[in-house]
Structure 1
């Protein structure tokens, strides 16, 4: 179809808010919806091109995928190459392992699936994943595999074709509306299909009917898009309803904007055109830039500093478009033989490296990386106490009950590594409130009870009233149903991000101190007042003012994610707990 400056301008309107959102700029709470604008544009353009090719009897799957490959893969490969190089500079082995998984899944257009399968408690925060944003590329690529097949199968049955696309739209929209799993809803194609279908349906409609210029509808459409960036939750917190405004707005702009209209002129200004042309490369590059800045920084990075760095993706994206995207789309410049040989070589290399990084746990056994290693698989180690979950005590000897989530499992590991659990039958209870009668029964039969806080974890400040009420409720349960011999272990924290340590001199870093998250300090203050003599203060073990150490005396990381402890950390922390706190009384 004929190139439209307004659609190209919409790409700029889509990519900039995504950058502002990821940089944490105030006023762009819905900047992530720029991706939805991209989806609609992609659905419209791809379908319009398929219709045009079929009309002239020139459509073929081979030609379609060749154009998609030449459009998508060169900038992606450049991004993967740059990201891979910088990952070795900025990442510890633990994060390199996760990066290896992303490298493989992105190469197979399936990073959205990987992100969903690995989402949850132990998932690495998205802001530290340089390839997190390729989930949207995976969704588009999966759509490209489905849509042409539908058009080929139903080429001579146009009514059936329309009904099929409409049916896909309805099923996908309803899935997005009804599915409450936010990770699934955000990442998977079944709940995103309707947005691409919306663009496809518009292209099918405009094939048969010429839409007329309507400035009012164009302006309203652009308003829907821009306002959704500012306030995405005005109507609902439901994902389908949130995404509806930018989708509808994009459809309106595409349908009713014509040359010489107000919106067309706005979207056709020179700077917007340049950003629109470069938008794909800009989008690919902005997330790695932000991720590596965060990985290299000890604490949280201010939003305007993040924005300053993220805006570098605009000139870099333009260079990528000019010298990578454009040349590789031209068969006269890069022949099929050269193009596909390079593509195959690059992706085989990325997949091989990714698998190696994953299997070798980020090459943690190699000399240059071994000093940064967390030793064993830290997540598996942290989850070890699950094997102690039982419904009742079975022995006549001393009984210990440990209550709480992953922070409680850390405390068990710390005690176990220092032989403090010897002589006890230990039961681990992950959630006290799941079965209150069972929990009270275990509590009443335990000789020693250790209840562990996780307040302030992940830098989340809990409202004072909520925190106090929860702590008081827990204390009342302990006072009423235990034998009185209980301890409440407070929250712990070892900074915000370990990866920054690669940017300082290793030999002088053993006693390095980092800022304790304010959320942990805040929670510690409230809970210590409530539990008083029964409180075990973990923050005070290594605290100097509002800083804490991050390494053991053997120069090993205490924590692998600044919240949960490594095996070395368990031995080190447990030794200090049993030497300086009342928990030393539990040793038999």
Structure 2
């Protein structure tokens, strides 16, 4: 051993290449690890290093790395592989204890630290969202919490803990390991059958709700089982079984490195370009080939290889701390999730912070091995629930009344479209019932984009008052490019015995030609039509503007009804051509723009939760207009 150390010190002393120095140091470290564990695999650490770099660079906004989020799929395959090696059905308690000791202390450390920092640096609007995320995280279902929001790729919400969704999926997979292992012991054919079923189900759901296939465990099981199968059937207790074919592993690693540079649309309904789709399969297969055949020893012990091994060692801590640091550092009031830096200085500071907190997390949290893990887990969960609630209450308690009204705008809105359950239970449905009226006097169909979505709750209340059933379209872009066509809307209305179609779109999304065509066809089918003209839109985020104005008394956001008419001139001109009996136009300018257009109530409640979508408070201003629709019927 002393001779080996001497050789190392001599080489370090004479080398002039800093990279070689790092490589030799890491090589020595890994040698010690290998002495402790004969099954230590450099290639797995290299895969981890590559994956975490892809994810971090993607989250830092590097445009060339279009699909760096695919690094998470690599982690899933590795986790499945390790589960097959580590799980012993004869000692389940020990397995879960070891997994909990490894994963949960850093997990709770990051949640609690994120909540504390958010309390001091963010407004109640952001802190409230962090509180909700921490509670989902405390129950190990963060993926479910984000599934209830918009997609993973949406930046509208403030989500510094968004990355925990993958850990939620992984922890949930651990829970099902005993059951899956039981099936696999009964017959080896269960593994490929369950993996195939999960994959097919994933692709089917992807064409309906990409968000569901992205966040939920049943549609990710196949990725874990690919790794599980490689370990179970094609390895020697986790070690490479097929020696001498490392070139296949190297080729697979190169493919794996190239794939994230390709464009994958995480919100696409297409199994080729969507996610998890074809590219996810390629990533998982490439990862499994590396696990199956290993990597050339020359690469593993090179400067590059040892550097990636080092990143692999810290990968869990890097993954945990990087996203909260990025989002909290760049956060702005009502700004949502910001991941794009404004300068090189910001980027450097963020990278340094990630490095510092990764070191802290790994050396002072992750490396701690509690003798009994139940107590730390219990208190970690408890603190992750109670601390956010306490801090949120404290923060709300010191707010003035006008501030509370402004911050309330974000939650002053209704559920998105028809909700997610109908998309899953009835994936082919293009409409849903918003209210439950058994024997309605009338059936109304509300047609429009997200602006119709923002008025549907108040409109539904008025419909119920008049014993009318309200039907709403599931897609967010009817009559628009790529959305359901005029004929499909009419056919749906006829099949649902609709008496009256109400149309409402935003200024920028108003498909005037299709609206005119729909009106014409509806009248021919004996269906009345009411067109609600667009609501005023603004060039600023209204709650943010109101919050900023509390300090600088800025009253510069003004819009006259003349400006409103000019912005909507093409729409109003097109509607002027409608000369059809049974088609009514409903102006909103007399509600919001009597003189100057209003963006808040007299007592300071915002009419908008962003620059153009009405809050429930805002849409309630149209209640009288909605009632007049039923008076016309």
**TM-score, normalised via structure 1 length:** 0.72
Which residue is equivalent to 1:459?
Answer: none
> 1:8, CA displacement in angstroms?
1.8
| 379-388 or 16-25: bigger deviation | 379-388
Aligned with residue 207 of structure 1, among 229, 232, 236: 236
**Consecutive unaligned residues in structure 2, runs of 5 or more:** 1-36, 265-269, 419-432, 474-488, 578-584
Which residues of 2 match residues 279-294 of structure 1 at below 5 A? 279-292=315-328, 293=330
Structure 2 equivalent of residue 228 of structure 1: 259
Query: In the TM superposition, what whole-angstrom CA distance separates every residue of 1:55-92 from its partner, at most 9, and x where no partner exists?
Result: xxxx8434333332232222222221232124335666
- The more displaced of 554-563 and 189-198 is 554-563
Aligned mates of 1:526, 1:105 — CA distance in 2: 46
Task: Specify which of 372, 380, 384 is matched with residue 406 of structure 2.
Answer: 372
1:408-442 C-alpha deviation (Å, 9 max, x unpaired) = 4756888999x9x9x99987553464633378973
**Alignment partner, residue 26 of structure 2:** none
Aligned counterparts of 1:185 and 1:568: Cα–Cα separation in 2: 34
Q: Deviations over 1:35-70 (max 9, x none)?
A: 10111122223333447xx9xxxx843433333223
Answer with 472-481 or 285-294: which moved more. Answer: 472-481
**Between Structure 1 and Structure 2, how many residues are aligned?**
539
Corresponding residue for residue 276 of structure 1: 312
Asked if the contact 1:494–1:549 (Cα under 8 Å) also holds between the matched residues in 2, the reply is: no
Q: RMSD value over aligned CA atoms? A: 5.2
CA distance in 2, matches of 1:229, 1:551: 45
What is the distance in 1 between the residues matched to 2:254 and 2:566?
41
CA distance in 2, matches of 1:143, 1:485: 51
SS of 2:318's equivalent in the other structure is helix
Cα pair 2:445 2:493 within 8 Å, conserved: no
**Residue 306 of structure 1: how far off its partner (Å):** 9.3
- Match of residue 430 from structure 1: 472
The superposition leaves residues 290-330 of structure 1 with CA deviations (integer Å, 9 ceiling, x where unpaired) of 44435537599684549986776654444334333334455
Q: Is the 8 A contact 1:113 1:188 kept in 2?
A: yes
Deviation at 1:366, TM superposition (A): 6.2
Which residue of 48, 52, 55 corresponds with 1:15?
52
CA drift at 1:141: 1.0
Match of 2:282 in 1: 245
Structure 1: tracts of 5 or more residues without a match: 444-448, 457-461
CA distance in 1, matches of 2:415, 2:285: 48
1:557 aligns with 2:588: no
Contact 1:90/1:295 (<8 A) preserved: no
Shift of 1:489: 0.9
Name the CA shift for 1:478/1:46 in 2 (closer, same or farther; >3 Å).
closer
Counterpart mapping for 1:332-371 below 5 A: 335-336=370-371, 341-353=375-387, 363=396, 367=400, 370-371=404-405
Determine which of 174, 178, 195 is the counterpart of 2:200: 174
Q: Distance in 1 between matches of 2:86 and 2:339?
A: 43
Which residue of structure 2 lines up, in the alignment, with residue 141 of structure 1?
Answer: 171
How many Å apart are 1:106 and its aligned residue? 0.9
Distance 2:127 2:282 in 1: 38
Q: Does 1:531 align with 2:572?
A: no
The 1:306–1:185 alpha-carbon spacing in structure 2 relative to 1, beyond 3 Å, is: farther
CA change 1:256–1:569 in 2 (3 A) is: same
Q: CA deviation at 1:248?
A: 0.9
**Displacement of 1:235:** 8.1
**1:67 equivalenced with 2:111 (yes/no):** no
Q: 1:380 to 1:441 in 2, by over 3 A?
A: closer
The alpha carbon displacement at 1:246 in A equals: 0.7
CA contact (8 A) 1:381 1:567 kept: no
Would you say the 8 A contact 2:458–2:620 is kept in 1?
yes
TM-score (norm 2): 0.67
What is the distance in 2 between the residues matched to 1:416 and 1:221? 55
User: Could you tell me how far apart the structure 1 residues matched to 2:569 and 2:621 are?
Assistant: 24
**Partner SS for 2:503:** strand
Contact preservation (8 Å) 1:512, 1:551: no
For 1:543 and 1:100, the matched residues in 2 are separated by 40
CA change 1:389–1:403 in 2 (3 A) is: farther
